[in-house]
């Protein structure tokens, strides 16, 4: 059971986030304040918001877990995921921010509706894809909260989920993106500081870097290589990270994750264009250090298990087992705060994204264009509550395919959003029909390939790669077969093969 100290630190952490939510709610005067924080985010707010939105709970527990299972070939995950924040800011964000400032967009779907001159169909299609991917992803996040709270307090899975959901719900409903940005700033600092403090303890307990590598190499020599041998099916369950698979992993993580609505919508809330200069570097540099440390802790835990120092019940528990073994009990709550911060910073952003999609894209732009500002904010708040209850229910009774669903979430992001975004921003010939075909085919086939991979035959690449290729083909072929967009549309949405248009 948790000590009084642990309980007080966790309670203090929750209280801080609640107070920030209550305080931020005073700043919300319009739907623009609620959805894009009045477009007022400063440099560090923005950088840490992007990093912490991308650092989900599964990326703390899951990263160490995959390192524990698969060794160094899985280190690519730690390069591709930080890279996605840079890709998102640089290739999508810089331009989207400029256009959205000019046109007053609140969500990426606003951009899609204008760029593909499809105020209804494209908006509904992309809005639905956002709602589906975010909801799937959200369910996965609750699992990580539950693992930590159960470990600390010995409470049940259901109790753990209800406590966490109630707290996130409170500040998201009250403060919208203002609250999320402030809470994420604090959480971002907790994640970065916490991982930097905790990880060296674990590496020291495991016998140091060289010892860790020597031990894991003795389990399987490929554990210290950059990839597993290219063979299909792989020689062991964990040896799936072959060179071919890593190619699909690059697209999935470096391109797909960054196009996720909960990450990309952050770029619309930035105050000044000049923040885009060093934001890609700052987010990548911070994120890569944290991710490397987390992964090496996973290797260290594997070495400690091989040395007979500790036992790990299942891979995702690797980090917790290592903390349990290597750190004094006093520091446990610090670790718990890191994981909770990571989970909650993604969870809150996802909930807000779904809320904005329903209130702004579906209600305001489709059902009731004359809706008042207050009504939009309230509908967003009601949606957040409904989504929280629904996902909580799914997390309490997790579907058997939970892990598949989480991977499918990112896979659908890659297959549905990347091509319409990239082609929309940089290719003048991309048309409405092309975008609808690309998004529709990508969305549907990613689900189909996911189930093929799960039930029929294991595929040599991540299943979303196949649907992504189909979405690229659909975009190119259908666009070339249909009438070009008008010059007015292209001019308004700054379309063309450039990041910034040269002054004439």
Q: Using CB under 8 A as the criterion, what x/- string covers residues 101-130 for binding another protein?
A: xx----------------------------
CB of 500 to another protein, least distance (A): 7
Of 281, 314, 451, 498, the residue at the interface with another protein (CB under 8 A) is 281
| Residue 79 is a binding residue for another protein (CB under 8 A) | yes
Is residue 303 within 8 Å of residue 211, measured between CB atoms? yes
Q: Return the range that interacts with another protein (CB under 8 A); candidates 180-188, 193-201, 208-216, 374-382.
A: 208-216
The SS3 call for residue 41 is: strand
Could you tell me how many residues of this chain bind another protein (CB under 8 A)? 36
**To the nearest 5 percent, what fractions of the chain are helix, strand and coil?**
80, 0, 20
Q: How far apart are CA 312 and CA 319, in angstroms?
A: 9
Neighbour tally for 99: CB within 10 Å: 19
Binding mask 212-241 for another protein (x = CB under 8 A): xxx--x------xxx---------------
What does the DSSP 8-state code read for residue 270?
A: B
Spatial distance between the Cα atoms of 499 and 371, rounded to a whole number of angstroms: 35
Residue 82 vs 298, nearer CB to another protein: 82
Give the C-alpha separation, 288 to 292, whole Å.
6
Beta-carbon count within 10 A of 29 CB = 12
Q: Which stretch binds another protein (CB under 8 A): 74-82, 170-178, 414-422, 472-480?
A: 74-82
Phi, psi of 270 (to 5 degrees): -75, 145
How far apart are CB 174 and another protein at their closest, in Å?
30
- Interface map 12-51 toward another protein (x if CB under 8 A): ----------------------------------------
Contact range with another protein by CB under 8 A, out of 148-156, 283-291, 311-319, 473-481? 283-291
Query: Which DSSP state fits 224?
Result: G
User: Is 8 or 500 the residue whose CB approaches another protein more closely?
Assistant: 500
Longest dimension (CA), the chain: 69
User: In 124-214, at which residue ranges do the beta strands (DSSP E only) sit?
Assistant: none
User: Does residue 278 interact with another protein by CB under 8 A?
Assistant: yes
x/- binding map, residues 245-274, to another protein, per CB under 8 A? ---------------------------xxx
Which range touches another protein (CB under 8 A), out of 195-203, 205-213, 355-363, 443-451? 205-213
260, 93 in Cβ contact below 8 A? Answer: no
- Tokens coding 425: 């921003």
Query: What's the CA gap between 444 and 182, in Å, rounded?
Result: 36
Contact positions vs another protein (CB under 8 A): 72, 75, 79, 82-83, 86, 90, 94, 98, 101-102, 209-214, 217, 224-226, 272-274, 276-278, 280-281, 284-285, 288, 292, 499-500, 503
């Amino acid at each position: 059971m948790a000590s009084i100290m642990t309980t007080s630190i966790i309670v203090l952490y929750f209280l801080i986030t609640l107070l920030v939510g209550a305080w931020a709610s005073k700043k919300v005067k319009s739907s623009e304040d609620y959805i894009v924080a009045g477009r007022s985010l400063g440099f560090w707010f923005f950088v840490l918001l992007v990093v912490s939105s991308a650092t989900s709970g599964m990326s703390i527990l899951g990263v160490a877990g995959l390192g524990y299972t698969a060794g160094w070939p899985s280190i690519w995950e730690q390069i591709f995921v930080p890279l996605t924040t840079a890709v998102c800011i640089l290739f999508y964000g810089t331009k989207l921010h400029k256009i959205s400032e000019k046109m007053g967009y609140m969500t990426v779907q606003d951009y899609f509706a204008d760029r593909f001159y499809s105020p209804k169909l494209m908006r509904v299609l992309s809005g639905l894809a956002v709602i589906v991917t975010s909801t799937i992803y959200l369910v996965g996040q609750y699992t990580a909260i539950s693992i930590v709270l159960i470990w600390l307090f010995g409470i049940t899975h259901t109790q753990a989920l209800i406590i966490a959901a109630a707290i996130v719900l409170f500040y998201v409903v009250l403060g919208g993106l203002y609250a999320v940005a402030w809470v994420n700033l604090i959480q971002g600092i907790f994640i970065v500081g916490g991982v930097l403090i905790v990880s060296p303890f674990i590496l020291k307990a495991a016998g140091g870097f060289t010892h860790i590598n020597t031990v894991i190499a003795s389990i399987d020599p490929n554990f210290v290589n950059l990839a597993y041998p290219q063979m299909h099916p792989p020689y062991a369950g964990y040896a799936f990270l072959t060179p071919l698979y890593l190619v699909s992993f690059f697209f999935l993580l470096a391109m797909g994750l960054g196009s996720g609505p909960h990450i990309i919508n952050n770029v619309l809330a930035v105050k000044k264009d000049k923040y885009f200069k060093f934001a890609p570097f700052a987010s990548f540099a911070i994120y890569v250090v944290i991710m490397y440390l987390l992964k090496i802790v996973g290797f260290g835990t594997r070495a400690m298990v091989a040395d007979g120092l500790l036992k790990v019940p299942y891979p995702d528990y690797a980090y917790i087992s290592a903390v349990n073994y290597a750190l004094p009990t006093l520091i446990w709550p610090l670790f718990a705060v890191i994981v909770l911060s990571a989970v909650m910073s993604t969870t809150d952003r996802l909930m807000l994204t779904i809320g904005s999609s329903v209130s702004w894209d579906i209600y305001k732009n489709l059902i009731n264009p004359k809706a008042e500002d207050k009504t939009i904010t309230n509908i967003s708040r009601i949606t957040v509550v409904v989504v929280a209850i629904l996902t909580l229910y799914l997390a309490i009774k997790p579907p058997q395919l939970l892990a598949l669903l989480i991977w499918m979430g990112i896979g659908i992001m890659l297959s549905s959003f990347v091509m319409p975004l990239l082609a929309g921003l940089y290719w003048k010939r991309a048309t409405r029909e092309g975008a609808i075909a690309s998004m529709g085919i990508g969305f549907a086939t990613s689900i189909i390939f996911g189930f093929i991979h799960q039930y029929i035959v294991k595929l040599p690449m991540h299943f979303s790669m196949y649907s992504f290729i189909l979405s690229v083909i659909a975009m190119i072929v259908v666009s070339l077969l249909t009438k070009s967009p008008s010059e007015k549309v292209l001019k308004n949405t700054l379309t063309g093969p450039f990041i910034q248009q040269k002054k004439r």
